Amino acid sequence: MKIALIGYGKMGKAIEEIALEKGHEIVLKIDADNQGDFTADNLKKADVAIEFTSPHSAVENIKKCLEFGVPVVSGSTGWLEHWNEVKEKCEDKNGALLYASNYSVGVNIFFELNKYLAKMMQPHQEYDVMLEEIHHTQKKDSPSGTAITLAEGVMQAFKNKKQWVNHISDNVDDLEIISERVDPAPGTHKIKYRSAIDDIEIIHTAHNRKGFAGGAVLAAEFLVGKKGIYSMKEVLGL
């Protein structure tokens, strides 16, 4: 498989390492210093693009890949207010897009565990629920995309939670997500149910970027040759 890396920071380099170990070829690397190389001719050398950039550049990067007819796996977060725009572009170009807020196999299992636990807890109104997430100081968005996905999973069961907020709140309709930025911290996510009697917590802690990078390569392998919009649920059969 020939891969274009759109974004060549720490995550891009981790993806490159795993892709090469699996026998794939990196045919293009795009970062802030060589945007002029992000052309149709260069991109079309790839079977698939893997895009990990920043919230302010992700949408245009994804649309560019779709415009040039190259399937794209995106792991950038913080841009989903433009989801419908990107979805329409993918459909208009009969393209292929796979998006996940987190590509770690363990995190995607954690997503499903979170939703299952929320369904179990919902009838027990003596418990309140909140989320915590910790990442390194270079992470540009807050809360993390993973935390937002977890919050949405909770709110599917807890209809009384009307919105998530990224601060402590006295409003019972709010689902709190508390964010912390410290180094070094690849990522920790906690869902806590609290009552006067006891607490119940589930926690996922990443030890390094390999889980995210390996899942992104797995997603790219899945997407090659396909059309449409996918998530890690399809990749992992969850």
Element (H, E) at 151: helix 145-157
Between CA 183 and CA 44 the distance in angstroms is 38
Which tens digit of pLDDT belongs to each residue from 161-215?
A: 999 999 999 999 999 999 999 998 888 999 999 999 999 999 999 988 888 999 9
Query: What single DSSP character describes residue 159?
Result: T
On the question of pLDDT at 28 being above 90, the answer is yes
What is the C-alpha end-to-end distance of the chain, expressed in Å? 25
Q: Residue 78 has what pLDDT?
A: 86
The CATH fold of domain 105-205 = Dihydrodipicolinate Reductase; domain 2 (3.30.360)
Q: How far apart are CA 67 and CA 36, in angstroms?
A: 16
Residue 14: per-residue pLDDT = 94
Catalytic residues: 135, 139
Instruction: Decide if 35 contacts 12 (C-beta within 8 A).
Output: no
> Distance (Å, rounded) from C-alpha 90 to C-alpha 237?
23
| Numbered ranges of CATH 3.40.50.720 in the chain | 2-103+210-236
pTM to 2 decimals? 0.82
- Ranges for all domains in the chain classified under CATH 3.30.360.10: 105-205
Q: Does domain 2-103+210-236 have CATH number 3.40.50.720?
A: yes
